[in-house]
Structure 1
Amino acid sequence: MGVPLILSALLAASAVQARSLGYRATPQVYDSCINSNDIALTFDDGPYIYLRSISDQFTAAGAKATFFFNGNNWDCIYNSDRISDVQYAYAAGHMIGSHTWSHGDLTTFSTAQIQDGMYRMEEALSRIIGVKPAFMRPPIRRLQRQRAVDRSCARPKPGAVTPMATQSRNPEAVYNDVANSNVKNALILEHETEETTATTLVPYAIKLFQSKGYNLVTMAECLGVDPYQAIGVPQEQTSAWTCDGTPDPGAGCGGSIACETGTPVFSSAPSGPTSTPTANQYFSPSASSSKCLTASSNADGAAVEIQDCVSAGSTSQSWTVSGQSIQIFGDKCLDVTGGAETDGTLMQIWTCTDSDSNQQWSMSGNTIQWAGTSDCLDLTNGDVTDGNIMQIWSCTGGSNQQWTRTTGPPGGGTTTTTTPPPTATGTYIHPTADSTKCLTAASNADGAAVEIEDCVSAGSTSQAWTYTNENLQIFGNKCLDVTNGNTASGTPMQIWTCTAGDTNQEWTLAGNTIQWSGTSNCLDLTNGATTDGNIMQIWSCTNGPNQAWTQTSTP
């Protein structure tokens, strides 16, 4: 029997307020793809610590994945790291679906408990990434007609087998069977929470299936359907974003935990400060804070390009954020030329028109995403040369899609939306490949190597970093430093006495990458090795797993 994927638009408690799920029409149940030559690799049970690594590997291969998230299973989806991870995967263009709140066995749940689990999960995704998921995968692969949703779920069709590689004794053999049998398509289940999924299965599967000519796509692409019921914008985080007082992993509501019903709040327009127009906004690419997003003229069709920021301010660089539009000159809006979703489509301005989808944008963190699509505003070729015209490109989370927004011209205003804020004193930096390893200074002497070592559980001054004014400091007066300022990939890292204005010591934290400011180089886990004593290097930014770092307040 295949692993069922259920269209939750017909199942979610929010679909028909205050009515039993039994009133709904029978939903569609999927257990295989329909498009030829497509394979959809799907991952259950997250979000968890391996999510970014998996996302990065697919992005690097030009592929897409599908993630079915729980709210409270291996971790709480509202923990800050998990919020960031979910936003990261979504911005990279991967599909996000529901795996219910607590990963409970739906065949043992009441209708109210099923509704609650789906309500809480839809609420979480609406809050964090601004979407209503269209698909739900039942946990534990169990779906029973009578018990699950009052006769509203059909059983999956027999005979279509979905491999579950992480549970196989020989997962590579399962993949080989699929690839060598020349199947038309495949829908494959994995578990995001297993370390071997990220380190072994994903790289093996990507290489194998692409070598056989398969397209690795999202589940929605594989099925030829829409991935979401609706796409809006993320909400402003509040104290309500917590797993406290919700069902524990595997459990349902009841007793002291009230079962939730109704319709989760969904923001179709920005919430919080951006709900009202915010004027005099200047956008700079993270690659150069001295450059500004600029309209070449105030005519319809004028190019949107990069130019030196005008320190005294300029109407051609001063944007107003109003709802989902980014306006300039009072009546012009940032616009996708022809509404084409093709990577490389150039940006322009055009007279603002209500409900024109070509002019609707969602700002999350430091990305500017074309609302309703998986495309982001992109610094074309990473080039900050004056006159370079901006484009849209599939969201990757990469440095070309990182923007800093200031009120007033850069250098003379205050930052309102920036790259992630400075980390607290005593931050421990781990390669995502191994959370038990820490970025470590070999000693406190100038020129001491920066390497990977086992984290000291009690804490160590050689592993506790502070991010201040673009410097990553250690021992109070030493800074992460590129040896001799050499920009060549492979240059080893060291520490050196902090010096104001020393560009060798200036770093930008963007997502989970640590980028050498003003360059296209990133802090890199040399050869991907987590062996103690491995000295770190710089390397051209790739968004790959070797350049993904996690920060924690404790070792």
Structure 2
Amino acid sequence: MFLKTKPTGAGLAAALVTALTLTLTGCSSDTTAPADVRADAGSDAKGAFGPVDCRKAKCIALTFDAGPGEDTPHLLDVLKEKKVHATFFLLGKNHVKKYPETVRRLAAEGHEVGNHTWTHKILTDHEPAEIRTELERTQNAIARITGKKPRLMRPPQGRTDDTVSEVSKELGLAQVLWSATAKDYSTTDSKLIEKRILDQAGKDGIILLHDIYEGTVPAVPGIIDALKKQGYTFVTVPQLMAPAEPVPGTIYRP
């Protein structure tokens, strides 16, 4: 997850399990639910709706971290077939730079392209200048490929604080956490990944997966089909907030 597309090893997996389990409770109490900003949006709000109005529909956002990777093109084929748009939080150094055509395709096919830092450093462990570098390098790399800088970022391991929020605000980035995770870094069992997501899915939720792990992409068709049968419509994170728009620096979590 940190530097390789398909990391292995029990030690790394255990460390990731511990870290991401901790972040499910969040690193900051100052979070905002997308549904709340959507409900509070005034008549002058300009957020773009997706396939439905999430004020009325049962919406959920599918998000992928730490790519793109070698399996991402297949994932894009699946999403295209299922008519689903997702939000991708991309790593810069060994992913955006390595797979520029995939990044270009993500944007061209209507997915939301977000920032997951340059090298997956834990931002809360660093000074503002280094936080800025981690985010800004990825902003610029994505913009060179797609012509547009991201407006969303996901801090590695969900770790954020006031300093991270301030730098994010300066760079025009809203922060996006999650409500459901499969812990797909700890298993290659696609059926288990699917079950974990279905067990946690809820209206206005944000699903966290990784398109760099072996068991994840094969689990996606089943997740989509099952949730559609339950009446969910898949939207990007900004569409989940519409007609409100993401506010730079704000931490969003369902």
Do they superpose with TM above 0.5? yes
In 2 relative to 1, CA 76–212 (structure 1 residues): closer, same or farther, beyond 3 Å?
A: closer
Does 2:80 correspond to 1:64? no
Which residue of structure 2 lines up, in the alignment, with residue 466 of structure 1? none
Q: 2:222, 2:246 → 1: CA distance?
A: 26
State the TM-score, normalizing by the size of structure 2: 0.67
Which residue of structure 2 lines up, in the alignment, with residue 172 of structure 1? 194
| Structure 2: gaps of 5 or more residues | 1-22, 39-53, 170-174, 249-254
> Which of the numbers 137, 144, 151 marks the counterpart of 1:120?
137
Equivalent AA in structure 2 for residue 128 of structure 1? I
Equivalent AA in structure 2 for residue 175 of structure 1? I
Equivalent AA in structure 1 for residue 85 of structure 2? K
Q: 1:177, 1:111 → 2: CA distance?
A: 38
Which residue of structure 1 lines up, in the alignment, with residue 5 of structure 2? none
> Highest Rg: 1 or 2?
1
Preserved CA contact (<8 Å) 1:70 1:103 = yes
Q: How far did residue 209 of structure 1 move?
A: 0.8
5 Å matches for 1:316-465? none
Which residue of structure 1 lines up, in the alignment, with residue 108 of structure 2? 91
Q: 1:2, 1:194 → 2: CA distance?
A: 20
Q: How far did residue 110 of structure 1 move?
A: 0.7
Equivalent AA in structure 2 for residue 148 of structure 1? V
5 Å matches for 1:182-197? 183-197=202-216
Which residue of structure 2 lines up, in the alignment, with residue 148 of structure 1? 164
Equivalent AA in structure 2 for residue 205 of structure 1? I
* Deviation string, structure 1 residues 427-479 (Cα, Å, up to 9, x no partner): xxxxxxxxxxxxxxxxxxxxxxxxxxxxxxxxxxxxxxxxxxxxxxxxxxxxx
Equivalent AA in structure 1 for residue 73 of structure 2? R
* Deviation string, structure 1 residues 166-224 (Cα, Å, up to 9, x no partner): 25763333233245xxx33211111111121112x211111111111111111111121
Q: Which has the higher contact order (CA 8 A, sep 6+)?
A: 2
Which residue of structure 1 lines up, in the alignment, with residue 74 of structure 2? 53
Preserved CA contact (<8 Å) 2:128 2:167 = no
Q: Secondary structure at the match of 2:212?
A: coil
Preserved CA contact (<8 Å) 2:64 2:87 = yes
Q: 1:150, 1:163 → 2: CA distance?
A: 26
Which residue of structure 1 lines up, in the alignment, with residue 3 of structure 2? none
Which residue of structure 2 lines up, in the alignment, with residue 210 of structure 1? 228
| Structure 1: gaps of 5 or more residues | 5-27, 230-555
More strand by share: 1
Which residue of structure 2 lines up, in the alignment, with residue 469 of structure 1? none
Equivalent AA in structure 1 for residue 214 of structure 2? E
In 2 relative to 1, CA 128–107 (structure 1 residues): closer, same or farther, beyond 3 Å?
A: same
Q: 2:82, 2:102 → 1: CA distance?
A: 19
Equivalent AA in structure 2 for residue 91 of structure 1? A
Q: 2:246, 2:106 → 1: CA distance?
A: 14
Q: 2:151, 2:178 → 1: CA distance?
A: 22
Q: Aligned pairs, how many?
A: 193
* Deviation string, structure 1 residues 41-96 (Cα, Å, up to 9, x no partner): 10000111111111111111111111000102xx24223xx010111111111110
Which residue of structure 2 lines up, in the alignment, with residue 366 of structure 1? none
Q: 1:94, 1:219 → 2: CA distance?
A: 10
In 2 relative to 1, CA 32–50 (structure 1 residues): closer, same or farther, beyond 3 Å?
A: farther
Which residue of structure 1 lines up, in the alignment, with residue 180 of structure 2? 163
Q: 1:228, 1:131 → 2: CA distance?
A: 17
Equivalent AA in structure 2 for residue 61 of structure 1? K
Equivalent AA in structure 2 for residue 188 of structure 1? I
5 Å matches for 1:241-280? none
State the TM-score, normalizing by the size of structure 1: 0.32
Preserved CA contact (<8 Å) 1:3 1:162 = no
In 2 relative to 1, CA 152–226 (structure 1 residues): closer, same or farther, beyond 3 Å?
A: closer
Equivalent AA in structure 1 for residue 79 of structure 2? F
Q: How far did residue 132 of structure 1 move?
A: 1.7
Q: How far did residue 2 of structure 1 move?
A: 5.3
Q: Secondary structure at the match of 1:132?
A: coil
Equivalent AA in structure 1 for residue 164 of structure 2? A
Q: 1:50, 1:96 → 2: CA distance?
A: 17
